[in-house]
Amino acid sequence: MRASEALLWTFGTLSSFASAIAGTTLTDDDLRNIPSPGSDFDIKDGKLLAPILIPRVPGTPGQVKAQEHLVSFFKTNLPGWEQTWHNSTSRTPATGDAEVPFNNLIFRRDPPWARAGDVGRLTLVAHYDSKLTPEGFIGATDSAAPCAMLLHAARSLDAALQARWKAAEDAGEADTSLEPAAGLQILFLDGEEAFAQWTDDDSLYGARALAAHWEQDFHASMSTYRTSLSSISLFVLLDLLGAENPSIPSYFMTTHWAYRKMAVLEKRMRDLGLLEAKARRPFLPDADKDAARFRGGFGGTVQDDHVPFMQRGVEILHMIPSPFPHVWHTMDDDGEHLHLPTTRDWAKIVTAFAAEWLDLTGKLPPLAPAKEKRTKKEAAPAGERADL
């Protein structure tokens, strides 16, 4: 078999496994039941986004405030989720001999009957730190908004996950000997940004430490998954999201089928009138990308938090635009420069993707009627949560 034929065969084989791995296709009614974050993404007083729109440099009071916001959100709204810290320290080019703390936050929602080593987890990821320079840099797209998107996804999916697991228990299907259990894991990674200039040593501090740790974090013997690292079914990394008219390429051939599933969901939601942004083109334009266009079988890669995990064999879906937003690493990357319709749309698309992956068809609770509190100039986003 020639190399080109082998590449196409591999591409087709991977795509054929999609339905078996990633759950049942959501119905149109399911998509209508995906809530919008609505006013919770307000940049001044939104419950999810506003508290993160501050400088969050590792080891500073601003970062502690961001940590407190993330922890408080889960404790208050999602008490059934397991919370874990992964802590490390490192010297940086900007801090001399001082050890800077890096604190990764991990939140998990697993089926109640399953042991940790028998759960394969869809893993949604964003970094929550911000750059040291320029002084006062906020990083709204980089990555306060992606963090808020993950909070919204967790909140939107929790009731459906519980409903799915109760149905499995009632049907006598709560048995990992029949098939591995599926859970949801959200990572807020620290220390993505370089302190001086991006190098292999001055970047990805939290991701490098966590990937190395999980590679050696072994589960009990006879577990389905050998380590915490191997239990990641897909690592979905969100970065630089929230600017208008984004274009996200499909970076990796091995996960192009997953990219395509998200692209299909975007198109369906747009066709149903469930997205707000009047985009010039799809956010995910590479749905029909040919296998031969993936360079070396992996495509080009942007240096980001996925790299230490990818180097250890984890499958990656990298949601980062190309080109980067024009505000990238400038003081204009703040709340005022976010395009909120696009930001809210991303929250819904990511939530829909996770719902389909986790086989939540028919389990998403119907949305409550939107409250009529807006003026005529400010229409309510489709399907805004009305209970918070």
List, by residue number, the catalytic residues: 192, 239
268 touches 356 (CB < 8 A): no
Q: How many CB atoms lie within 10 A of CB 371?
A: 13
260 touches 252 (CB < 8 A): no
CA 243 – CA 129 distance, rounded (Å): 19
Q: Which long-range contacts (CB under 8 A, 24 or more apart) does 60-69 make?
A: 62/130, 63/128, 63/129, 63/190, 66/128, 67/103, 67/105, 67/128
User: CA angle, 153 as apex, 105 and 261 as ends, to 5°?
Assistant: 115
CA 22 – CA 258 distance, rounded (Å): 8
CA 169 – CA 113 distance, rounded (Å): 9
DSSP 121: E
CA 257 – CA 21 distance, rounded (Å): 11
Residue in 227, 164, 175 with CA at minimum distance from that of residue 357: 164
Q: Is the peptide bond before 134 cis (omega within 30 degrees of 0)?
A: yes
200 touches 191 (CB < 8 A): no
Q: Which residue has the tokens 């397991």?
A: 82
* Strand bridging mode 181-189 / 100-109: antiparallel
